[in-house]
A and B are shown apart, each in its own frame.
Chain A
């Protein structure tokens, strides 16, 4: 008998079985999910805190900014062209600044990329390697299109007088959407790495969890955009 009352033979069989499973799947967890996946969820939890803080800062900063503009604070009014400020005073919000149809198209692209990502995971799980390459490429392409749209949007806003160091609205807006854009860019790099593995034949069904974890990151970025789109762009 072992110290904890398990017969030695049974304990040895248990350990051997554990080792075999670890060897087969690269993980073992008493929680029912792989440790890698749980660790990644923990990381995503910390990312929630980051974006929660950024979204809160944006909401508080914009409220402060609009209040100052409506109150006619000359130092704040001088940070953007008069016609833009007049529109903010008239509508009592910064939303007239945004191009909603364009951002809606960006949202559609990001949602579509989430679909192609799950299809890539499904394809690799089923051993459909051609499908894996197609769906991973589509995801990376859609992500790149989203980033191109964001660069275009930033350029337009800059030309209209919204600068990062101009006022609270500019700082908070560029920081929030910029951080999100940086996350999408990191996601694209990870997708490219997966694609290289796939083309070298190193992305087989036994690595499906790797695709799933990168997929988790990608969907998280999508979920954050779902929040940003509604809270920043649609709600005045």
Chain B
């Protein structure tokens, strides 16, 4: 199958998915600040054990994905890569790294 010049247009940086507007960036920032405020307030409420740790970890994860997805444009760039091998490799590597990290920490925690 012959490649034409027109076909290759979609393979270049030219077809970036639209990045957020200035207003959307401000909204993400407000959300991040609000989550940080809730995190700090939660840590002062006196909850202990899982009741303290799990909500904090959830809020941390949401903040992580907000910064990576919106500010680092990962959400928009992955749209371009959707369905390609790279996307699978990207998420596969994240999953593998997370699993290895959890296994190492668990080996210390449970003295395996």
Of chain A, the residue at the smallest CB distance from B6 is A17
Q: Which residues of A contact B13 (CB under 8 A)?
A: 25, 27-29, 32-34, 37, 209
Q: Would you list which residues of chain A between 192 and 227 have a CB under 8 Å from chain B?
A: 209, 212, 215-216, 219-220, 222-223, 226-227
Within 8 A of A (CB), among B62-112: 63-64, 67-68, 70-73, 77, 80-81, 84, 86, 93, 97, 101, 104-105, 108
- Secondary structure type dominating chain A contacts: helix
* CB contact between A31 and one of B44, B67, B70, B81 (< 8 Å): that residue: B81
Segment with Cβ contacts to B, from A76-84, A110-118, A155-163, A168-176: A110-118
Q: Give, as a whole number of angstroms, the nearest-CB distance from B2 to chain A.
A: 5
Is B105 touching A32 in the complex (CB atoms < 8 A)?
A: no
8 Å CB interface, A41-91 against B: 45, 48-49, 52, 56, 59-60
Once the chains bind, are B80 and A33 in contact (CB under 8 Å)?
Answer: yes
Of A100-108, A145-153, A177-185, the stretch lying at the interface with chain B is A100-108
Select which of A13, A27, A234 is within 8 A of B40 by beta carbon: A234
Contact yes or no, A33 B19, CB < 8 A: no
Chain A residue at minimal CB-CB distance from B63: A226
A117 touches B71 (CB 8 A): yes
Contact A32 B40 (CB under 8 A): no
State whether B43 touches A100 (Cβ < 8 A). Answer: yes
B71 A219 Cβ-Cβ under 8 A: yes
Flag if A230 contacts B60 (CB, 8 Å): yes
Query: Are B26 and A115 in contact, with the CB atoms below 8 A?
Result: yes
* A32:B84 contact, CB within 8 angstroms: yes
**Per a CB cutoff under 8 Å, which of B12, B19, B71, B84 touches A21?**
B12
By a CB distance below 8 angstroms, the chain B residues around A45 are 93
Contact B40 A104 (CB under 8 A): yes
Whether B71 lies near A119 (C-beta < 8 A) is: no
Contact A52:B2 (CB < 8 A) given known A107-B36, A111-B36, A227-B60: no
> A14 with B5: in contact, given A52-B97, A104-B40 (CB under 8 Å)?
yes
Beta-carbon nearest neighbor of A1 in chain B = B2
A60 vs B43: C-alpha distance when bound (angstroms): 21
Q: List 7 A-B contacts (CB under 8 A).
A: A33-B77, A56-B101, A108-B33, A219-B68, A223-B68, A226-B67, A230-B56
- A-B pairs, top 6 by smallest CB distance, nearest first, are A17-B5, A230-B60, A32-B80, A115-B29, A234-B43, A219-B71
Interface residues of A (CB under 8 A from B): 5-7, 10, 13-14, 16-18, 21, 25, 27-34, 37, 45, 48-49, 52, 56, 59-60, 100-101, 104, 107-108, 111-112, 114-115, 117-119, 122, 209, 212, 215-216, 219-220, 222-223, 226-227, 229-231, 234-236
